[in-house]
Chains A and B, each alone.
Chain A
Amino acid sequence: MKQAQLKILRVLLALIFILFTVFIFLDFREHIPGGIHTGISFLQFIPSILKFFAVFSLVSVGFIVVIILTSLFGRVYCSTICPLGIMQDFVSRLRIKTRKKTHRYRYDKAKNFWRYGFLALPLLILVAGKSLIGVSLLDPYSIFGRIFSDLGQPVYMWINNRLAGLLESMNIYALYPEDVTIARGLGYIIPFIMLAIVVWFSFSRGRLYCNTVCPVGTLLGLLSRISVFRIRMIESRCTKCAKCVFACKASCIDLKNLDVDFSRCVGCFNCLQVCPEDAIKYLPASRVEPDISVQPVQIDTAEQERVQKNAGRREAIGRMFVAGLALAGVSQRVFSQDPASADPVTENPAHTPEQIKTDTTGKFPTNVENKIPTEIPPVKNFPVRPPGSLGLRHFNNRCTACHLCISACPTGVLQPSLNEYGLEGILQPHMDYSSNYCNFECVRCTEVCPTGAILSLTEEAKKTTQLGQVQLILENCVVYAENTACGSCSEHCPTQAVTMVPYRDGLTLPEIKPKICIGCGACEYACPVRPHKAIYVDGHNIHQVADEPEIEELEETKMEDFPF
């Protein structure tokens, strides 16, 4: 195969990767079976590392594959596997197609301060601040996920609804409308800002984002400095036509010195394709170029730059050292975790009950429908997390807020958090029982999580996984306060941890059995009183196992004839 054809292969692979990745974030109707998600996200670098330390299994060695690939061929990950990178290529292409004038990229120096800064920052936050927030905000896969889950999915639903409406008017009921809920304004700002930044960068400067901001790009860039094969220029063939420079989205081909800054090369292979002389191609890094004896034209400048480069290299090595330290810190931190044995009280000092007590006062200020507004606010000690997320610390330390579970959740109970986990957990999903409740028979979120923040659960295990326990404020209950029938909480309860017991005047009153409660939130969601609900779930710091509901045999009703 001629190396120029590598580009075709790269584009095909990239299209396959991005199509699947986009679709898992858009799909709201469970078209994709749950098990496939983890296959699609297998090679995503950051999620794969996190999952590896969560489960220690072969299903999460994707990042090792990426490391091997990179140490062989450089950052091919960035143009083939990374969805954010491929998305930028679409934007760049859009620019090229919409302008009449031929678009030309130019060589540019590496922005070392920024790129190593953005690599060091999340690691420092991780080590010093003990928070994943920096990684979450900068991981390209998670940025892409949030854009397509939070902003893309509502658009996709809207298109679905227009189509469904059109078909319905023709009396075809093949598609069903879905209510597009844009629940929390602030939660959409971060993905929107990131989308704007990434689009702006790629529209104006090709892959500048990947070589300035993206820590994964920079990290793999460090690795590609020592890769086995590199894209190099063959001096004897090169006519300095500069076609490769104009085509280079990473602006990393230095024609003056006939040098490719391979740490910034994203492996798009545009240069291989455009070179008319076959003068730029993958060559073993060790091979001494045949024409090395031919001196560059301007020795002085070359010498100067070489000195500069050495300085840059020293800087890079220094930063690598910091990064290495940080990584060691991460692994130590992750290895030392054992969520099951952690002490529920002292586990996370940042989340003492006082600090994250959710004050729901004024949460439902409008539309008070019950005659007597309720007065006692619920006291929630811990936010409720999805089943399979074990302990609060396990979850907070592994979730990069890619929002795949939010996209996949069929009920919409999973919502991005704002202050539920504090600032360092912003955008991580939580169970929002004002939006909906967790479907008893569903384990969808546990099947899709790429980072291991939500571990997979069987349907049977999920049905006894206690996310929190039911709490009843009888004074708020409409039956108690207004002497009218209701039973909405018990009606929704899948385990009958809330049952209706005889009260007075033929009325029934809710009674709770917290031991068999799984904390699905159905009662809280269904409770009709406002502004404060009469029944709610208080989350556990660490998920517990609920008792199974007692099964009593029915007494057979004997009835021979018609009773009327």
Chain B
Amino acid sequence: MKRRDFVRKSIGAGIAASSVMALNPYTKLWGKASTLQNYDLVAAKGGEPGAMFDRAIQSMGGMEKFVKKGQKVVIKPNIGWDAVPERAANTNPQLVGRIIEHCLAAGAKDVYVFDHTINEWTRSYKNSGIEKATKDAGGKIVAGNSKGRYHQVDIPGGKVLKQAHVHELILESDVFINVPILKHHGGAGLCVSMKNLMGAVWDRRYWHANDLHQCIADFTSAIKPDLNVVDGYKVLMKNGPRGVSVADVETRKFQIISTDMVSADVAATKFLAKDPSQIGHIRIAGEMGLGEMDLSELNINRIQI
């Protein structure tokens, strides 16, 4: 049995078991095994990326809450840079692989992975380890470098950004999972969920030339991922978003998942002991009502591994 099949089957078995427990009125016999609370946000800490995701997604109700049988899923990690995983410039490949396995176990027909990279894309895909992780997990890696694959989308709620060219996979897929890596960002302050969506559009230059923070928030009003998974396993603490060397990286071992990008970004910011209202696009998105900035309003599950 291949590792991939094993993982898929064991995840499937786990899901089946927990479903049985959830539906069974005698669940209480297992103590507090019921995991189906409606959490707005789940934060996990202290484990490996894959293990943290297993626990976090389970407490969100399992991947089948997001992915139905036969659906087409697109995962958008950060693969922006020609850098090895230790440099933490790109999303952790192990995490990407595990998310794909969960999607396939939930019955997804196809799981696509792409990013509109900043460095040369074939090298970025390869050296980030994400190309291999995707293929090993059974996903399909798709190039993000062709202008023809991006289609114009109107952003009626945008103040500055009125339209953008968005990759067709984002537009066509049934499920969109956003998997940013948390990192320092010289221009945007921090790079989390909302900033990560810049890799889903073609014409980024316009954003930089026309009030970057407002554009990031504007885009969020039109394109909303079904799930955001913030990778905080290794964190680039300075010289972001690219980083100069491994000396810029700190191993923090946390992960946040949420359907609300604003909340996820606020939570991630707090993990770095920063003030979310100081990050322009997070503050603007909160003011525009695109998500909840006040974490005390949310039902949060905290998982320590």
Contact = CB atoms under 8 A, between A and B. Distances in A.
A493 B250 contact: no
A30 to B, nearest CB: 7
B253 to A, nearest CB: 11
Contacts, number: 141
Contact of B187 (A171, A486, A559, A562): A486
B148 A563 contact: no
A491 B241 contact: yes
B145 A178 contact: yes
Given A499-B186, A562-B45, A563-B270, A551 B245 contact: yes
A551 B208 contact: no
B242 A492 contact: yes
B145 to A, nearest CB: 7
Interface string A437-451: 001111000000000
A490 B208 CA distance: 12
A442 B124 CA distance: 11
A554 B238 contact: yes
B143 A177 contact: yes
Interface string A379-412: 0000000000000000000000000000000110
Interface stretch (B3-11, B20-28, B115-123, B173-181): B115-123
B16 interface: no
Contacts of A549: 244-245
Given A177-B149, A554-B248, 14 more contacts: A173-B112, A179-B146, A369-B205, A442-B123, A484-B211, A485-B211, A488-B187, A491-B240, A528-B205, A549-B244, A554-B247, A554-B249, A562-B302, A564-B267
B102 to A, nearest CB: 21
Contacts of A559: 252, 271, 273
11 contacts: A173-B142, A176-B122, A177-B145, A410-B123, A411-B120, A440-B119, A484-B211, A491-B241, A494-B244, A551-B244, A554-B249
Contacts of B110: 171
State which size class the interface on B falls in.
35 or more
Given A506-B280, A562-B43, A562-B302, A487 B82 contact: no
Contacts of B250: 554, 556-557
A403 B112 CA distance: 36
B166 interface: no
A492 B118 contact: yes
A112 interface: no
B192 interface: no
A24 B282 CA distance: 48
Nearest to B109: A171
A529 interface: yes
A478 interface: yes
Given A171-B110, A178-B145, A491-B241, A485 B213 contact: yes
B211 to A, nearest CB: 4
Residue of B187, B238, B280, B302 contacting most chain A CB atoms (<10 Å): B187
Given A171-B110, A177-B148, A564-B267, A496 B205 contact: no
Interface in B254-304: 266-267, 270-273, 278, 280, 295, 300, 302
B73 interface: no
Nearest to B295: A564
B186 A490 contact: yes
Nearest to B72: A171
Interface in A515-564: 526, 528-530, 549, 551-554, 556-557, 559, 562-564
A490 B145 contact: no
A389 to B, nearest CB: 20
B71 interface: no
B261 to A, nearest CB: 16
A313 to B, nearest CB: 57
Interface of B: 43, 45, 82-83, 110, 112, 118-120, 122-123, 127, 140-143, 145-149, 185-188, 205-206, 208-214, 237-242, 244-245, 247-250, 252, 266-267, 270-273, 278, 280, 295, 300, 302
A202 interface: no
A508 interface: yes
Contacts of B112: 173
A7 to B, nearest CB: 42
B212 A487 contact: yes
A410 B120 contact: yes
A371 B119 CA distance: 27
A171 B111 CA distance: 11
Given A410-B120, A492-B118, A506 B278 contact: yes
Contacts of B45: 562
Interface in A429-482: 439-442, 478, 482
A564 B300 contact: yes
Contacts of B242: 491-494
Contact of B208 (A410, A488, A494): A488
B149 to A, nearest CB: 8
A334 interface: no
A487 B205 contact: no
Contacts of B82: 439-442
A247 B38 CA distance: 85
A557 B146 CA distance: 40
B188 A371 contact: no
B143 A557 contact: no
Contacts of B247: 551-554
Contacts of B145: 176-179
A552 B237 CA distance: 12
Contact of A486 (B118, B212, B278): B212
Contacts of A103: none
Nearest to B277: A506
A559 B188 CA distance: 24
Contacts of A496: 239, 244
A451 to B, nearest CB: 25
Nearest to A488: B208
A104 interface: no
Nearest to B240: A491
Contacts of B295: 564
